[in-house]
Amino acid sequence: MIQDTKKQTIINKLTLLDTSNYRIRKHHLTGKYKQEPRRYRTHLAEVYDKLEYDDLVRLWELKGDE
């Protein structure tokens, strides 16, 4: 149960980070603010949810945040 909560917390942080990176990349490429596609975070969360907890922790570490 606790690991499920931790897993969801990491998934939430990863999707926020990926959404932020998407916006930054689009702004850098076009010079304009571009919102991510509809349900972008939801789709990312679905993919991340298929990963094991340890894989998510490793991914979080690789992305270099916290």
Q: What is the mean pLDDT of the chain?
A: 91
Q: Contact at 8 Å (CB) between 3 and 53? A: yes
pLDDT at 35: 87
Nearest to 16 by CA among 5, 24, 26: 24
Q: What percent of the chain has pLDDT over 70?
A: 95
- 38 φψ region: left (φ > 0), alpha (ψ -120 to 50), beta (else): beta
pLDDT over 90, % of the chain: 79
Residue 47 has pLDDT above 60, yes or no: yes
pTM of the predicted protein model: 0.84
Indicate whether 60 pLDDT > 60: yes
